[in-house]
Amino acid sequence: MNTYRIKLFLLTAVSTFILSSCLKDDLNSPNVPQAGFTMINVYDEANYIIHKADNNFIQTMNNPLSFKGINFVYLYPGNRKIQTIDPANKVLIDSTYTIKDSLLYTSIVYAKADNKIGQRLISDTLLNNLATNSAYRFVNLTHDMINIDLYIGDTKVIDNRGYDGNTLISNHYKFVSQTSGTKKIIAKNNANETLAEKDLNMTAGMHYSIVLIKSTTENKYELIVHQQYRN
């Protein structure tokens, strides 16, 4: 596998668990073809989910992927059957994806309207020249499918972003550069009403995934932010 010119920004304890729980894929060898696979869970209709790759557990019932959680593993390339399972061991998603050597992928599992579930799996491209800047992407997964304006501080950085849970628009998942420092992230509707906000210390060199969801049980929105990659 080609050496990635990035560091994956995840807790060592989490990574160590995953390495031990998915040995068939997660071999720690630079000579084995592998792809990076990040999983983000914003599906709020279960306390946690579990992923399997070709029937091999990535998470387990003892250490699942909690709501608003993030995990990372390496996967062998090829046509991979990726399943998502709920706490009752019910298969929620069963899809096959073509995974290519040395690429980085992100899976986002989210709630849709009418008690349905969705998954976005995208190939990630990291930004260079982030010595003083950070990078972010914004994904609108509000199940009521409203359009969103995103502000960083007082600056509108995304105008009238539609719902990203139906049609996959690749440009919506690309990272864009942003000055580093402490920022207030604000999501507003088209009536200029604030739906959710979050303070974020954007570190130079870091790539952030920002996801807006709406609770399926409460009438409120939430911004979920993960530090995902570092150059």
List Cβ neighbours of 229 (8 Å cut-off, separation of 6 or more). Answer: 6, 7, 8, 9, 104, 124, 126, 206, 207
Q: Give the CATH class of 1-124.
A: mainly beta
Q: Give the residue carrying structure tokens 């050496």.
A: 3
Cα–Cα distance measured from residue 143 to residue 215, given in angstroms and rounded to the nearest whole number:
8
Domain 125-231 architecture: Sandwich (2.60)
Q: Give the residue carrying structure tokens 């849709």.
A: 112
Categorize the per-residue pLDDT at 231 as very low, low, confident or very high, splitting at 50, 70 and 90.
confident
Residue of 173, 175, 224, 222 lying closest to 69 (CA atoms): 224
Average pLDDT over residues 160-179: 96
Burial class of residue 3 in the structure, from the number of CB atoms within 10 Å of its CB (0-12 exposed, 13-18 middle, 19+ buried):
exposed
Per-residue pLDDT tens over the stretch 86-107: 999 999 999 999 999 999 999 9
Residue 51 has pLDDT above 90, yes or no: yes
H or E element: which one contains 21? helix 12-21
Q: Phi-psi region for residue 78, left (φ > 0), alpha (ψ -120 to 50) or beta?
A: left
Average pLDDT over residues 162-178: 95
Cα–Cα distance measured from residue 1 to residue 5, given in angstroms and rounded to the nearest whole number:
12
**pTM metric for this prediction:** 0.89
Task: Output phi, psi for 43, to 5 deg.
Answer: -90, 110
- The pLDDT assigned to 33 comes to 86
Categorize the per-residue pLDDT at 176 as very low, low, confident or very high, splitting at 50, 70 and 90.
very high
- The pLDDT assigned to 26 comes to 59
- The pLDDT assigned to 179 comes to 97
Average pLDDT over residues 125-138: 96
Residue 2 has pLDDT above 60, yes or no: no
- The pLDDT assigned to 114 comes to 93
Name residue 79's beta-bridge partners: 98
For the chain, the domains span 1-124, 125-231
CATH topology identical between 1-124 and 125-231: yes
Higher pLDDT, 25 or 166: 166
Cα–Cα distance measured from residue 225 to residue 217, given in angstroms and rounded to the nearest whole number:
21
